[in-house]
Amino acid sequence: MSMDKRERSGILQRCLAKLTPLHREVINLIYYRERKIEEVGQFTGAPINTIKTRMHHATLRMAELLAEAGIDRARVAI
């Protein structure tokens, strides 16, 4: 199945919207705004280990959501 970039982007946005606000926030700050974990911790006021845990759970959930949408996680840059 071949998808164009716009279609993949739409699916990605719908999957991101299904995350909890805290998980969406860490993905946004780390992947899209290219912040370091330490910076995210300072920005959010959460301990670094909490940020790492949120990232772990967020990426696992994104993988599940993308798989449900029929997209191999390796084909999409979060």
For 57, other C-beta atoms within 10 Å of its C-beta total 15
Mean pLDDT of the chain: 90
Domain with residue 10: its CATH number is 1.10.10.10
Q: Say if residues 26 and 55 touch (Cβ distance below 8 Å).
A: yes
Give the global pTM. 0.82
Residue 15 structural domain: 5-75
Q: How many domains does the chain fold into?
A: 1
pLDDT at 9: 87
46-74, pLDDT tens digit by residue? 999 999 999 999 999 999 999 999 887 65
Could you tell me the pLDDT band of residue 1, with boundaries at 50, 70 and 90? Answer: very low
